[in-house]
Amino acid sequence: MNDSVLENKLSPRAQKAWLISEVIGIVIGFIVLAVLFWLDFHFAWPVWIGWILIALTAYTVLDAVWSLIKPKYLYESWRYQVDEEYIQLSYGILKKEWVTVPIAKVQSISTRQGPILRIYQLREIKVETMGSSHAIPALDEQVAIQLKDTLAEYAKLKEVDE
Amino acid sequence: MMRYHPLTILYRIYQFVKNNLIIALLLFVIKRDSDFWLFEYGRYAFLVIVVWRLIYIVWSWFYETYEWEERTFYLKEGIFTKNTSSIPFSKIQNVTRQTTIFHKVFRLTSITFETAMDGVDDAITFEVVSKKHADFLLKLVEVQTTEPDETNLKENQEGTELDGSESDVENPDPKIKQDNESKVVHFTPTKRDLWKASFLSFSYLAFIPLLGGLFDEIQSFLPEEKELDGLLDQFLASKWLILLLVVVGVAIAVAIGVTRTMIRYGKYEISSNNTHIFINRGVLNESYFSIEKQKVQGLEITQSFLKRIVGLAEVKLVSSVNPNSEQSAVDVNSLYPFLPMNQAHELIQQLLPGYHVESGMKRLPRKSLWIKLLRPSWFWLLATGALFYFKPRVFGLESAWWIISVILFVWIYINRILDYVHTQYLVTNDQLQWRRGGLTSRLFITKRQKVIEMSISQSFVQKKFHVASLSTVNRSSPIHVEGIEDVPVEFATSFHNWYLERHDEVQYHHIP
């Protein structure tokens, strides 16, 4: 499936932005765990709860390690391409996805920017069709705004049978 | 400005009573003496709701009106919050007409125009309407939808020219289209079809637990035997009784099955004209369904294990018809659930000349079988885990848990192997066609222009095996997702390229 490499990549700053949000997630996860351990100790919960907590901790640690390496590979895997007829996306580390949506079927286009994306001056483009929604995460602000306008222009074209 | 038929009020009350009968029975008959707070206060609450509903049903009728102008319905409703909606005729996807027993009593009918707009209230329903007026509305909508269609038709003709094999006879000329009288009947079930259907529908299998219950009842009338005799002895002692019960039970079951089938599928007629497909059905509850051919998004031919043995199949239309519309005991999308296979293909060709059921589909390579078998079954693992933990006793068997686990395992793997055997795919000109499924197999056919989205996915393991999974999305409510798993990467790539050539059929217009 390598013969269909799409044109564009995300902003390289996406890696940092994702990493930060992952780290925040990890910290929150560990705080929750710590609180649970404290509650377990303080109220002397049944033994099996202790075991579940240990299992959860092990899982959280593994997940945290994965979260820290994920942004790099996810960024490497992300490609998108937009032309007059189609929006094409491809992404995924262990499981690859290639999505093709005819632009004529797009019903709404929007950009979004959360606090972390704002720090890095990035934007996400969200494209909604009749039954699904797709996002191109973390584009340079300029690129995102331009792409949104391009998409909006292309999307004016509708198919006759609707 | 038109009001709905006054009997709509009665019909709504009838519906309301029907839907709440069980609650009423529970509150006032079964749990009559209960002073549990839920029932105690529930009774008052229920009465209040009933009174309010009845007032509301009558009251709201006066505020509901409809009118039409320039090929658009304008609906108004609401006592407190006024609600106005307009629905252009061109958005109407299909028409359903149902005549339930209620309607029969008053010699009336109901009619629903369904649209594919994104609103919540996207159907126009005339719950009670005189037959004459229903005919009028139908004509009104039908005649006028034909005009803006001409562009659609051109598109269709262009699309079909690619096939070359499209017969000119089937290609409708826009000029004669108004001629709705030229309906051709394609299918009515014969006596033989109906018998087959009733034996297949197997609805009477539901009788077996009842039979068991009956046996328990009768046991108490049997001469008391010594308690120590055990279950087996008792069983043998009443052998003649069991036999009799089985015979009687099966007879009743068959009778019920046959009557049910006759009532559901007895009067059945599939017909079409140049632009629309019509389905008339039902003996007691009559229903009429029509859909514009252009609005059919795809086709599905389903064969359950039993149907495959007898060579029958069910043909379904993929469209934006709401599949769980009220009261309809029959799936509205289904053409007919018991069509002989060759007749099914013929019917498709006649109804939708754009579609062909092509032969010569490709099968999956052997490696796809290995990957299907290698893939862990999470369902089985979870189920076995749960069984191991709870170790339920079935029929007094202590080892039941691992027997069930083994049966489940075999079942899952038989399904997977069958899925491998059944999976076939083919892409021709502007049409895609694929089949998959284990015990129940499904053949799905759609046109490139009707696929509104596609995706390919490839897991880590699939990559090693050089295969991928495809999925397509068609318009429906909700959207219709189809997929085929573990096809060779070459096919996935060529499918993707094929999809990128969509502009061959699709015609665009610009929204200012």
Residue spans per domain, chain B: 2-145, 193-264, 362-504
Tell me whether strands A106-112 and B334-340 are parallel, antiparallel or unpaired.
Answer: unpaired
CB atoms within 10 A of CB B281: 22
d(C-alpha A148, C-alpha A128), whole Å: 12
pLDDT value of residue B278: 87
For residue B458, give the nearest of A1, A99, A156 by CB distance.
A1
Q: Is B468 on the interface with A (CB under 8 A)?
A: yes
Residue A111 CA to residue A150 CA, distance in Å, equals 13
Contact of B357 with chain A, judged by CB distance below 8 Å, is answered with: no
Question: Is the separation of the CB atoms in B338 and B266 below 8 Å?
Answer: no
Instruction: Provide CATH code, domain B362-504.
Output: 2.30.29
Cβ-in-10-Å burial (0-12, 13-18, 19+) of B174 comes to: middle
What is the structure's pLDDT at B409? 92
Q: Which residues of A touch B (CB under 8 A)?
A: 1, 3-4, 85-86, 92, 94-102, 104-105, 107, 129-132, 156-161
pLDDT score, position B331: 61
Q: How far is A90 from chain B (nearest CA, A)?
A: 9
Q: Between chain A and chain B, how many beta carbons pairs sit less than 8 Å apart?
A: 93
Give the pLDDT score at B395.
Answer: 66
Kindly list the residues from chain B whose CB atom is less than 8 angstroms away from the CB atom of residue A102: 452-453, 502, 506
Q: Minimal Cα distance from A3: which residue of B? A: B493
pLDDT for residue B413: 92
Residue-level pLDDT at B459: 92
Q: Which residues of B371-402 are buried (b: 16+ CB within 10 A; e: fewer)?
A: bbeeeeeeeeeebbeebeeeeeeeeeeeeebe
How far apart CA B319 and CA B115 sit, in angstroms, is: 11
Within 8 A of B155 by CB-CB distance, chain A residues are: 160-161
Average pLDDT, chain A: 88
Distance from CA of A11 to the nearest CA of B (A): 24
Q: Which 108-147 residues of chain B touch chain A by CB within 8 A? A: 118
User: With 50 as the cut, is the pLDDT of residue A66 above it?
Assistant: yes
Provide the pLDDT for residue A122.
Answer: 92
Closest-CA distance, B494 to chain A, in angstroms, reads 10
* Cα separation, B469 vs B458, whole angstroms: 6
The pLDDT value given to residue B328: 47
Give pLDDT < 50 ranges for chain B: 145-179, 225, 228, 326-329
pLDDT at residue number B267: 83
Which pLDDT score is estimated for B156?
A: 40
Q: Using one digit for the tens of pLDDT, what is the confidence trace for B150-195?
A: 444 333 433 333 333 333 333 444 433 444 557 888 888 888 888 8
Mean pLDDT of A123-139: 88
Is A156 in contact with B511 (Cβ distance < 8 A)?
Answer: yes
Neighboring chain B residues of A161 at a CB cutoff of 8 Å = 152, 155, 294, 449
Q: What is the pLDDT of residue B53?
A: 92
pLDDT at residue number B39: 83
Is A23's pLDDT higher than 70? yes
pLDDT of residue B123: 75
Cis ω before B478 (30° cut-off from 0): yes
Q: What CATH code would you report for A80-154?
A: 2.30.29.30
Is the Cβ of B219 closer than 8 Å to some Cβ of chain A? no
Q: Test B460 with A95 for CB contact under 8 angstroms.
A: yes
DSSP B336-392: EEEEEHHHHHHHHHHH-TT----S-PEEPPHHHHHHHHHS--HHHHHHHHHHHHH--
Look at residue B172 in the predicted model and tell me its pLDDT: 41
DSSP B252-318: HHHHHHHHHHHHHHSSEEEEE-SSEEEEEE-SSSEEEEEEEGGG--EEEEEE-HHHHHHTEEEEEEE
Q: What is the pLDDT of residue B228?
A: 46
Q: Is B362 exposed, middle or buried (0-12, 13-18, 19+ CB in 10 A)?
A: middle
User: What is the residue-averaged pLDDT of chain B?
Assistant: 79
ipTM of the complex: 0.85
